[in-house]
Amino acid sequence: MTDKPPADDADATRRHDLLADPATTPPESAPSPTPPAEPVAEVDRYSPPSASRPEWSRHPSEPATPVTPERWYEPAPAVATGVVPVTARRERRSGGGAVLGAAVLSAVLASGGTVLALSATGALDRGAAPRTSPTGTTVGANNQPVTIDESSATIDVAAAVSPAVVRITTGGNADTSTGVIPATGVGSGFIYDADGWILTNRHVVEGSDSLEVELNDGRILEGSVHGIDTLTDLAIVKVEAGDLPTAALGVSSSLKVGQLVIAIGSPLGTYSNSVTSGIVSAKGRTILTDNNTSLNNLIQTDAAINPGNSGGPLLDANGSVVGINTAIAADSNGIGFAIPIDIARPIMDQAVAGEDLARPYMGVVYRTLDRQYAEENDLPVHEGAVVIPGGPPNEPTPAVVPGSPADEAGIEEGDIIVKVNGQAVDSDHPLDATLAESMPGDTVTVEVLRDGSTVTLTLTLGTRPAGLRG
C-alpha cells in the first residue's frame, strides 16, 4: 500500500492509451490487420443545426420570425441602429423654393462662423482622444492594430519555448484477436537539460520497444527510457545529443486560479508544436483512471489538451514550465489536467545526476481533510491528512503498512498528520507533494493530532516500491 488517499469516484479518465467509459463509447468495428501508424482517440461527429429560413424568401405579408441564438455564447444578429431611411412624398407648393433657399443660406453662414470660432481656439487641431477598454486595451481611432497583453504573451512564449518541445513516437507490439501486430503511439515531451534530458508522461513511453524523438528543427534522434516515476504519471527520456534548446522551469505552487497558461504539444500525433492557451481553472484535483490509478494534486486547465499532447509542457505567461499535460476528462470540453512541475523536479534532478529515479515512502493510507469531511466525522481540525484504512469495505487495507517507516515511527490509525518538517499539510501543501520534496533516506519530523494532543514523531523515509500506483 502506498502513501495515497483511498480511491474515490473518478473525476475524469485519461484519453491517451486508456479506454473510455464503455457506456458512452460507440462500438468498435472489427479490428483491421494493419493498425494506423498513429492511433488517435475517437472523435464525436458534429451535425450542424438546421439553418433558419432566409429573410429574402419570406413573403412581405408574412410576419418576421424573431431570431433566437442557438447557444448562449452565440450572439443574435445585430439589429441596425441609426437613421432609418424614409421615402418622402413630393408635394407641389408655391413659393417653397424661396423659403428653402433662405434657410440654406442662413445655415451656411452660421456654420462658417462656427468653423472660424473653433479654428481660433485650436479645437480643430486636437486629435481625438483614444478610448480605453475596461481591461486597459487601447483602441485606436484610425483602424490601428489592437495590442492585447495575453495575445502578446502567448506569441512570445510560443516562440521562446517551441524549440524545446519534442514529438515522441513509440514502437512496440500489440496483442489483437488476429495475433501480435506492430503498433506505434505518439506523445509529446520537452527538453529540460541541454545534454538531452527530456520529461514526458509515463503512459507515453511505458511498454514501448523503441523511441524516436523528433526535435523542432526536424532532426529525429533515437531515445531511451532512463526511468519511470513510481509516484505519478511521469518518465524521463534520454537522447544522445548536446547543446539542445531547453525550457525554463517555473514554480507551480505559486500558480493562481484564473492565471494565464499555455500548452504546447503534438495533438493527435500529427500537428507538432501546436499552441493553445487558457487559464488555471483549479488546483489540487484528484482523478482516478480506469485501472484505479490515482493521480493527485493536478492542475486543472481549460487550455485545449488532446491525445498526443500528453507529456508536453504547460507554461505560464513568462514561458516557464509549471506543469506536464497529462489527462483530459472523458466526454467533456475544456477540462484538462497537468502534473505540477514541483512534483516532477526531484526526479528530473536525479536523472541528470545519473541516479535511478526514486521517491520517498512513508507507508500510510490517508485522506486529505476538508471542512465538510471534518464536520461529518467530528474531527478537531479541517486541514491535514487523516490516517484511515483504504480499499473496498469488504477487503480493507491497513491504514499503516506493517513494517513501513510510518509503522516504525509510531504513526497510528486515526492520527491526523498536520505538519511535516514544520510545513503545514493543507490544500496548498498536500501530504504526498510535501513528502516529494524529500529524498529516500531523509529523516523528517511529523506532527500528528492524536486524542486531542499534538505528538511529534521522527521518521526516516524509505524508497517507494515500484509496483505501487497512486
Known active-site residue 44: no
Look at residue 416 and tell me whether its pLDDT is greater than 50: yes
Q: Tell me how crowded residue 127 is: count the other CB atoms within 10 A of its CB.
A: 7
> In the predicted model, what is the mean pLDDT of residues 259-281?
87
- Among the listed ranges 127-131, 151-155, 324-328, which one has the minimum average pLDDT value? 127-131
- Give pLDDT tens digits for 51-97: 444 444 444 454 444 433 333 333 333 333 343 343 333 333 444 44
Catalytic residue among 203, 274, 426, 432: 203
For residue range 132-160, list pLDDT tens digits in order.
434 433 333 344 444 447 788 899 999 99
First to last CA, the chain: 9
Three-state DSSP class for residue 460 = strand
Residues facing 287 on adjacent strands: 295
Contacts of 72 (CB under 8 A, 6+ apart): none
**Which DSSP string do the residues of 395-434 spell out, in sequence order?**
S-B-SB-TTSHHHHHT--TT-EEEEETTEE-SSSS-HHHH
For each of the domains in the chain, give its residue range(s) and CATH number, in order of start.
161-239 (2.40.10.10), 252-352 (2.40.10.10), 360-463 (2.30.42.10)
pLDDT winner (highest mean) among 21-35, 78-92, 114-128, 206-220: 206-220
| Alpha-carbon span 38 to 17, nearest angstrom | 12
Please provide residue 385's backbone torsions phi and psi, each rounded to the nearest 5 degrees: -135, 115
Pairing of strands 235-239, 294-301: unpaired
Query: Which among 294, 310, 342, 426 is annotated as catalytic?
Result: 310
Task: Say what the pLDDT of residue 4 is.
Answer: 53
- Which of helix, strand or coil describes residue 364? strand
DSSP 70: S
Find out whether 433 and 439 touch, Cβ atoms under 8 Å.
no
Quote the distance between the C-alpha of residue 376 and its chain's center: 32
Residue of 466 and 326 predicted with greater confidence: 326
Measured between alpha carbons, how far is 377 from 75 in angstroms, rounded to an integer? 48
Among this protein's residues, is 59 annotated catalytic? no
* Residue 197 near residue 238, CB atoms below 8 Å: yes
The active-site residue out of 233, 316, 342, 415 is 233
- Look at residue 50 and tell me whether its pLDDT is greater than 60: no
pLDDT in tens, 335-383: 999 999 999 999 999 999 999 999 999 999 999 999 999 999 999 999 9
* pLDDT bucket at 168, cuts 50 / 70 / 90: very high
pLDDT beyond 80 at 19: no
Bridge partner list, 222: 212
Q: Nearest CA to 148 among 334, 444, 116, 140?
A: 140
Give me the percent of the chain exceeding a pLDDT of 70: 65
User: Is residue 386 scored above 50 in pLDDT?
Assistant: yes
- 264, 315 Cβ separation under 8 angstroms: yes
For residue 310, indicate whether it is catalytic: yes
Q: Residues 105-121: what's their mean pLDDT?
A: 46
